[in-house]
């Protein structure tokens, strides 16, 4: 992972008209009363790049995981509202694309470093290399509603002490239990929490070793918006990407972009990332002149028609 956010190529890619149009189209999968205007404007969240070389080393940085909040999914009152049908036992009524409930969510109660504090309708991954399955590419889980429901309810069930049948996934081998304080897939790390990171042991019914599906062959410029990363890279060339998510213009997201703009103008790391001198003084440091469109300027919180000297 390279901690570059403000290179010229990244700025041009985030603000490219095709990328902006794709993000607005993706935002439209969401809905909410009187929220159309928020979804028709996409903001530019500055993230990093990944440069991965082939080799036998196992890549454990991005196993199946869920971004945008961890223990907050159960602890934060706003998140509970997002999943209220699931908590009430009516999981089929859960609507993962209802934006109105997302507006009051706090995804970072514990101020974890590197935790995205904005709401992304879809995470973003723009290929910079030619990559096939088994070459360190992306993997996806194919059912959002099912995985949301299972993941939210998983802490309230545990295996019975004496299995009823030989099949560990048999419902009879599980019991409802609210006395267990564990949240499978959430791991305390010092003052913070790491996760959610489900696996075959913590979330066996998802059968992740079988159900995580590699995306088809991608070429530079291809884009994916929700994913995990293959553990192994058996190819001959690098597997490299830019992270460019789709970000609607919600009130909190706009507040973040205002703070991010000030960091961009001097080359500091974006607010969600560890703060240091960042790319100040780098020869390839981008600036306003590298923004490729008026929509890109709006997405960065900059006025249209003004260009830096």
pLDDT in tens, 63-107: 778 888 889 999 999 999 999 999 999 999 999 999 999 998 998
pLDDT higher than 70, residue 62: no
Mean pLDDT confidence for 33-41: 88
What is residue 49's predicted lDDT score, i.e. its pLDDT?
A: 86
Number of Cβ atoms within 10 Å of the Cβ of 150: 17
**CA–CA dist 215, 223 (Å, integer):** 11
Residue 127 DSSP SS3:
strand
Task: Tell me the HSE value of 142 on the side-chain side, using a 13 A CA sphere.
Answer: 7
- Assign domain 1-63+118-135+219-224+231-309 one CATH number from 3.40.710.10, 3.40.718.10, 2.60.120.330, 1.10.10.10: 2.60.120.330
What pTM did the predictor assign?
A: 0.84
**CA–CA dist 206, 97 (Å, integer):** 21
Instruction: Kindly state the percentage of the chain with pLDDT values over 90.
Output: 54
pLDDT higher than 80, residue 298: yes
Residue 212 DSSP SS3:
coil
What is residue 111's predicted lDDT score, i.e. its pLDDT?
A: 80
Beta bridge partners of 230: none
Mean pLDDT confidence for 255-267: 96
What is residue 224's predicted lDDT score, i.e. its pLDDT?
A: 59
**CA–CA dist 117, 247 (Å, integer):** 12
Delimit the CATH 2.60.120.330 region(s) of the chain: 1-63+118-135+219-224+231-309
Number of Cβ atoms within 10 Å of the Cβ of 240: 18
pLDDT in tens, 108-157: 888 877 778 899 998 877 888 888 888 777 888 888 899 999 999 999 99
Dihedral angle of Cα 233, 247, 4, 241, to the nearest 10 degrees:
20
Block residue for tokens 């088994």 = 134
**CA–CA dist 280, 174 (Å, integer):** 55
- The CA–CA distances, whole Å, from 19 to 13, 26, 73, 252, 282 equal 7, 11, 30, 22, 26
Q: Which two tokens stand for residue 303?
A: 């006025």
Instruction: Look at residues 174, 202, 200, 175 and name the one whose alpha carbon lies nearest to residue 186.
Output: 202
**CA–CA dist 205, 173 (Å, integer):** 12
**CA–CA dist 197, 65 (Å, integer):** 4
* Contacts made by residues 165-172, CB under 8 angstroms, sequence distance 24+: 168/204, 169/204, 169/205
Preceding peptide of 238 cis, ω within 30° = no
What is residue 235's predicted lDDT score, i.e. its pLDDT?
A: 66
Block residue for tokens 């780098």 = 282
Minimum mean pLDDT range among 8-17, 86-95, 241-250: 241-250
Using CB atoms within 10 Å of the CB of residue 146, give its burial: 0 to 12 exposed, 13 to 18 middle, 19+ buried. middle
């Amino acid at each position: 992972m390279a901690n570059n956010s403000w290179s010229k190529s990244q700025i041009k890619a985030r603000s490219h008209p095709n990328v902006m149009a794709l993000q607005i189209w993706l935002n439209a999968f969401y809905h909410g009363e009187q929220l159309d205007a928020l979804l028709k404007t996409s903001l530019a969240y500055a993230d990093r790049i990944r440069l991965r070389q082939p080799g036998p080393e196992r890549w454990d940085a991005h196993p199946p995981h869920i971004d945008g909040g961890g223990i907050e999914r159960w602890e934060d009152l706003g998140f509970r509202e997002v999943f209220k049908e699931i908590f009430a036992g009516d999981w089929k009524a859960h609507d993962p694309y209802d934006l109105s409930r997302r507006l009051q969510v706090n995804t970072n109660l514990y101020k974890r470093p590197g935790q995205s504090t904005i709401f992304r309708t879809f995470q973003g991954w723009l290929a910079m290399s030619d990559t096939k399955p088994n070459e360190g590419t992306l993997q996806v889980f194919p059912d959002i509603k099912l995985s949301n429901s299972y993941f939210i309810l998983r802490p309230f069930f545990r295996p019975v002490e004496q299995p009823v049948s030989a099949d560990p996934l048999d419902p009879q081998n599980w019991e409802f239990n609210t006395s267990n304080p564990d949240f499978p897939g959430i791991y305390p790390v010092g003052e913070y929490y790491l996760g959610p990171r489900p696996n075959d042991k913590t979330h066996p019914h998802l059968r992740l070793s079988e159900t995580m599906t590699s995306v088809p062959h991608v070429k530079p410029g291809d884009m994916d918006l929700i994913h995990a990363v293959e553990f192994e890279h058996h190819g001959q060339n690098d597997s490299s990407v830019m992270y460019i998510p789709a970000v609607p213009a919600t009130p909190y997201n706009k507040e973040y972009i205002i703070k991010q703009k000030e960091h961009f103008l001097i080359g500091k790391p974006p607010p969600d990332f560890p703060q240091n001198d960042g790319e100040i003084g780098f020869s390839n440091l981008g600036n306003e002149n590298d923004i490729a469109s008026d929509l890109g300027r709006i997405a960065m919180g900059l006025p249209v028609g003004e260009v830096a000297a």
